[in-house]
Amino acid sequence: MSEKNNISIEAKPFYIEEQSSESDNRYVFAYTISIRNTGTNAARLLDRHWLITDANGKVQEVSGSGVIGKQPYLKPGEVFRYTSGAMIETSVGIMEGRYTMASDDGDKFNADVPRFTLSIPRTLH
């Protein structure tokens, strides 16, 4: 990725106990994503692709246009934050993915979302 097309992404997951049910193998997590344009070109987020893997190795693949119904346009230095969620069948899992971006000069590029862990409190040290 060039200096002109550079996006940094940070994820902060959290457990939603009141929507989860251990007896039903339903663990609900939310996560807040911060997308920062650290490049010199403005860029629009076109679509997303997620892989969500639980502790049993079950993988959910999620793709679609934009995020939370939006295709945010980020000028250099701007940040877009949103919160979304995932449900898995185990108390621990991982998420990773990427966003397809389009810069003002017509380049399309991927912005990788670093892998992050979904876990209920006190599961991992």
What's 95's domain CATH number?
2.60.40.1470
- Position 111 in a domain: yes
- Position 12 in a domain: yes
pTM of the model: 0.91
- Position 35 in a domain: yes
Domain that holds residue 29: 7-116
Q: What is the rounded distance in angstroms from the CA atom of residue 4 to the CA atom of residue 53?
A: 33
pLDDT digits (tens, 9 = 90+) for 51-85: 999 999 999 999 999 999 999 999 999 999 999 99
Residue-level pLDDT at 2: 60
- Provide the CB-side half-sphere exposure for 78 (13 A, CA): 11
Task: Domain count for the chain, please give it.
Answer: 1
Lowest mean pLDDT among 56-60, 71-75, 113-117, 120-124: 120-124
Q: Please give the single-letter amino acid code of residue 68.
A: I
